[in-house]
């Protein structure tokens, strides 16, 4: 099989969507001539021209608002925001407008818009470019929140997002862009299904996005010590597939939840709460979580590594349940 990177998979999904539907276009900072801050849109300007690959001013609220208007007018915009930190400048547009218009209009209006943004730390980009706010968006009814962790999901979930009648936020962990995978799907994936990435029987490791590679490595380390860990990739945070999580815990009776948000108010806390509501009788030990340290993300590499969840912490948390 030929290999393709995570960024190439996203580019392929956008290219296929734009070839198939003239309403689809991409807009954002540096998406055109520069090829995207993470080289995701490289080459698309040459193929589709400046009308459909639109460089915008550095005004997230302005161009996300323009995306809402375009969607209301019948277009299918893909709005790229350089990092999730910068998306906070457009929080009003996304949360107070895009997410609410279908409900406030009694179903008369929809906003078929996809908002893509890079998320997470691990690149030495310091505190204004490296945080994880996906749980904030998952809190909001009216939008769907996707966190693809594999090359196949990067394409398949984006294709699915582009068919949705309402806003979809896609969080792309920035450390995943160069990761390679096998051939990607030609058809959209179903949104709202978690995936068991590694079967196991002793402990369930529940994660998503950029934490998946570390969690799989932790499972490998645990296997060397005779601990058979199951790894569950949530894939989407809203809607959240708790059936797969509960099914895993029914086998293992123990759970560790891993994410890069700060522990206070983390999405891991939401998953833990639902496990307690839905699978309390299955648990043989308290649910634990591994999250980022409660500091703004450091710039220095050794401090950043100390702030982020690491393989050793996941291994230790799992062993602590046994």
Residues with catalytic roles: 60, 129
Instruction: Name the nearest CA neighbour of 311 among 219, 195, 174.
Output: 219
The 3-state DSSP class for residue 157 equals helix
Instruction: Report cis status (omega within 30 of 0) of the bond before 176.
Output: no
Rounded CA gap, 168 and 149, in Å? 16
Instruction: Count other Cβ atoms within 10 Å, centred on residue 294.
Output: 9
Among the listed residues 117, 121, 146, the one whose alpha carbon sits nearest the alpha carbon of residue 211? 121
Q: Give the contacts of 162 (CB within 8 A, at least 6 positions apart).
A: 13, 17, 21, 24, 76, 78, 114, 188
Question: Residues 228, 176: contact at Cβ < 8 Å?
Answer: no
* Bridge-based pairing state of the strands 288-292 and 255-262: parallel
Q: Which DSSP letter does residue 146 get?
A: E
Answer whether 198's CB lies under 8 Å from 172's CB. no
Helices (H), 206-241: 212-224
User: First vs last Cα of the chain: how many Å apart?
Assistant: 40
Given strand 229-233, what is the order of strands in its sheet?
Answer: 195-198, 229-233, 203-207, 255-262, 288-292
Token pair 């570390």 is found at: 214
Residue whose token pair is 């710039």? 299
Contact 116, 170 (CB under 8 A): yes
**DSSP per residue over 118-167, as a string?**
EE---SS--TTS----HHHHHTSTT-EEE---SHHHHHHHHHHHTT-SS-
């Amino acid at each position: 099989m030929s290999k393709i990177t995570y960024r190439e998979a996203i580019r392929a999904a956008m290219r296929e969507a734009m070839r198939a539907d003239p309403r689809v276009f991409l807009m954002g900072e540096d998406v055109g001539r520069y090829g995207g801050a993470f080289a995701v849109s490289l080459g698309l300007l040459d193929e589709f021209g400046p009308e459909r690959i639109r460089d915008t001013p550095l005004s997230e609220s302005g161009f996300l608002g323009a995306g809402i208007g375009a969607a209301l007018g019948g277009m299918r915009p893909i709005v790229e925001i350089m990092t999730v930190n910068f998306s906070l400048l457009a929080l009003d547009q996304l949360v107070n407008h895009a997410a609410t218009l279908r409900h406030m209009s009694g179903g008369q209006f929809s906003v078929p818009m996809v908002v893509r943004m890079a998320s997470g730390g691990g690149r030495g980009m310091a505190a204004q470019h490296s945080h994880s706010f996906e749980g904030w968006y998952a809190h909001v009814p009216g939008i769907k929140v996707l966190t693809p962790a594999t090359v196949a999901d990067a394409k398949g979930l984006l294709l699915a997002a582009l068919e949705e009648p309402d806003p979809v936020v896609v969080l792309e962990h920035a450390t995943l862009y160069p990761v390679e995978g096998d051939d990607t799907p030609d058809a959209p994936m179903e949104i709202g299904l978690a995936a068991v990435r590694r079967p196991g029987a002793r402990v369930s490791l529940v994660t998503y996005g950029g934490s998946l590679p570390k969690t799989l490595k932790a499972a490998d380390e645990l296997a060397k010590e005779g601990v058979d860990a199951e790894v569950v990739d949530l894939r989407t945070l809203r809607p959240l597939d708790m059936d797969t999580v509960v099914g895993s815990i029914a086998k293992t009776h123990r759970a560790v939840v891993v994410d890069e948000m700060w522990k206070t108010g983390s999405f891991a806390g939401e998953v833990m709460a639902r496990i307690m509501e839905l699978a309390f009788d299955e648990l043989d030990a308290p649910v634990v979580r591994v999250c980022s340290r409660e500091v703004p993300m450091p710039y220095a590499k050794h401090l950043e590594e100390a702030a982020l969840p690491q393989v050793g912490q996941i291994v230790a948390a799992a062993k602590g349940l046994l």
